[in-house]
Amino acid sequence: MTGLATALRTLAVTAASGLLALSGTVTGAAAGTATGAVAPPAPPASASAAPEPKAPREFVALGSVDRTILQEMRYTTAHNFVGEPVDGYRQPLCILTRPAAEALHRAQLRLLARGYALKVYDCYRPQRTVDHFVRWAKDLEDERMKKEFYPLVDKSRLFADGYIAEKSGHSRGSTVDVTIVRLPVVPTRAYVPGEELVECWAPREERFPDNSVDMGTGYDCFDTRSHTDDPRIRGEQRANRQLLKGVLAEQGFVNLPEEWWHFTFRPEPFPATFFDFPVARRSVAGH
C-alpha cells in the first residue's frame, strides 16, 4: 500500500500541474508535464446576452472525484483533426456525470496497483463542439490536419463513413475518450502548430509522441486500424487495448468497437439528452 499511496500522491500533483499547463499557450502536451502561460480572461458578456447554461447537478469535474487521472484535453488545443481549439471548451477540464466519474476512479485504482494510470482526451462534449465538427467536415478545402488524422480517408466521406455525425454520445455526459499511461509518467513534448505531420497509424517511434502506451494508432485516428479488434493490431498493442477495455468493462463501461479509446458508462443518467453547457469550471461550480 505504501507504493500505491506514493503513486497516488505523485499523480495528484502531476495531474493538477498538467491542468494549469494546458490552460496556457503550450498545446498538445500531456497533462502533468507541460508548462505555459495562463490564457487571458474572456471579455465580459454584454448585459443583454443570455446567460450560459450550467450543468445539471449530476455533472462533476473529474478532478473533484479523482485528481490522479491525467487530463490531456485535446480539443482545447490545435492538436486535433480540426487543427484549432474547438468551440465550447473554455478550460482544459474533464466533466462527466458523477456515476461515470466514480466508475473511472474505481478503474484508476485497479490500474495504479499494476503500474499504470488513466489519461483522458475528451469527456463531456457540448453540442456546439459537435456543430463545429460538422462545419469543418463540410469545408472540403480545409485539410491542414489530414496527413496525421485521416490520411487515407477522402474528406467528402467523413459523414458517410461515420467519422463525423450531427450528434455525439459525449454530449450526454457519460462518454469518455481515454487511454493508459505507464508509471512513472514520461513527459510528452508540446505540439507545434504547422509542424510536419505523420500518419496516425505509423509505427510509434515515427508518429507524434504520446505518453500513452502503444495502442497501434494515435488518438482520433480516422482509420480502420482504430477498430478495437482490428486483426492487424497484434502483440503488445493488442494487449494494451484489451487491458484498457477489460479494466473499464469491469466498472460498467462499454467500448465503441470502431474506436479503441471511446467508452460509455451504462446505464447512462441522461440517455436521450444532448447538453450544450460549455466546458468550464463555472458550469459545475458547487457540484
What would the pLDDT profile of 48-106 be if each residue is shown by its tens digit?
567 889 999 999 999 999 999 999 999 999 999 999 999 999 999 999 999 999 999 99
For the chain, domains (ranges, CATH) are: 2-38+58-284 (3.30.1380.10)
What would the pLDDT profile of 120-169 be if each residue is shown by its tens digit?
999 999 999 999 999 999 999 999 999 999 999 999 999 999 999 999 99
Q: What pLDDT does residue 43 have?
A: 52
**What pairing do the DSSP bridges indicate for beta strands 116-122 and 70-71?**
parallel
User: In the chain, what percentage of residues exceed pLDDT 90?
Assistant: 80
What would the pLDDT profile of 247-275 be if each residue is shown by its tens digit?
999 999 999 999 999 999 999 999 999 99
Q: What pLDDT does residue 228 have?
A: 98
For residue 61, what are the β-bridge partners? 95
Closest C-alpha to 89, from 51, 47, 118, 124? 124
What would the pLDDT profile of 194-214 be if each residue is shown by its tens digit?
999 999 999 999 999 999 999
Which residue out of 72, 148, 199, 259 is catalytically annotated? 259
Mean pLDDT score of the chain, rounded to an integer?
A: 88
Tell me the three cell numbers of residue 267: 446505464
SS (H, E, C) 116-159: EEEEEEECCCCHHHHHHHHHHHHCCCCCCCHHHHCCCCCHHHCC
211, 180 Cβ separation under 8 angstroms: no
Q: Is the pTM of this model over 0.75?
A: yes
Please say if 259 is a catalytic residue: yes
Closest C-alpha to 93, from 43, 128, 50, 59? 59
